[in-house]
Amino acid sequence: MKPTLPQSSSDNLAQALRQPISPDWLARPSTEVAPDLLGCTLVRQVESGQTYRGLIVETEAYAPGDPACHAYRRPTKRNQVMFGAAGMTYVYLIYGMYHCLNVVTDLDGVPSAVLIRALELEAISPWSDRQKERKLSRVAAGPGKLCRAFNINLSLSAQPLLPGQPLWLEHRSPEFEEQWKQGAIAFVQTTRIGLTQGTDIPWRWYVKDCPSVSKP
């Protein structure tokens, strides 16, 4: 039942040019980082050394003073990584069956994070039929689904996002940046999803007209 994922090819030149995102770049308010992460790449490296990549197309910010933030009240065993320095993962279990991946942001001592809500996976091959591609485009459309697709669980929480680790991030490709500047790619900012508190705060961003977004 587990979907087959596209495997990254190491001889792709454009991919080789992508630069890893450093913790410094993430040491800003989550409301700044969240939209900036759109178009960046999440990389998953499994034990065999094989890597999988997904384009980040939907994010949400969580910040201090935000009642929906898991770190709203006090540091606990679960959320303590959110209080620490930027560049760490924060993974939690939701509804007893799904995991959600966050990137810890802002300065040490400021509890905040960005929830990665959806990835666009690269096509399996140029020869894959349209039906297959459409299915694949929804494989990581949602925070629980992307963790299932990339085999992300609680053991990957509080880990550094650095190359060689199980997870890391890469900057936008020059092609994405160019298309975004030209207006060919646009972002939408709106309210967050699935919350009981802080429902009116517009801290969700996604790539407009992207089929891999959880709820356009």
Binding site for DNA (CB under 7 A): 60, 62, 68-71, 73-74, 76-79, 82, 90, 92-98, 100, 102, 113, 115, 142-146, 154, 192-196, 214
18 vs 210 by CB, closer to DNA: 210
The first and second tokens of residue 143, run together, are 């925070």
In the complex, the smallest distance separating the C-beta of residue 94 from DNA, rounded to whole angstroms, is 5
- SS3 state at 133: helix
Contact 192, 205 (CB under 8 A): no
88 vs 100 by CB, closer to DNA: 100
84 vs 180 by CB, closer to DNA: 84
Gyration radius of the chain over CA positions: 16
18 vs 42 by CB, closer to DNA: 42
In the complex, the smallest distance separating the C-beta of residue 191 from DNA, rounded to whole angstroms, is 12
Beta strand pairing call for 204-207 and 89-94 = unpaired
In the complex, the smallest distance separating the C-beta of residue 11 from DNA, rounded to whole angstroms, is 32
1 vs 13 by CB, closer to DNA: 1
Count CB neighbours of 107 within 10 A.
12
The first and second tokens of residue 84, run together, are 């620490």
Nearest by Cα to 87 from 148, 34, 23, 39? 23
In the complex, the smallest distance separating the C-beta of residue 129 from DNA, rounded to whole angstroms, is 21
Amino acid identity of 36?
D
The first and second tokens of residue 150, run together, are 């990339």
In the complex, the smallest distance separating the C-beta of residue 124 from DNA, rounded to whole angstroms, is 18
Backbone angles phi, psi at 175, to 5 degrees: -65, -45
In the complex, the smallest distance separating the C-beta of residue 63 from DNA, rounded to whole angstroms, is 9
CA distance 157 to 164: 16
- State the residue for tokens 């770049």: 25
CA distance 150 to 145: 9
15 vs 137 by CB, closer to DNA: 137
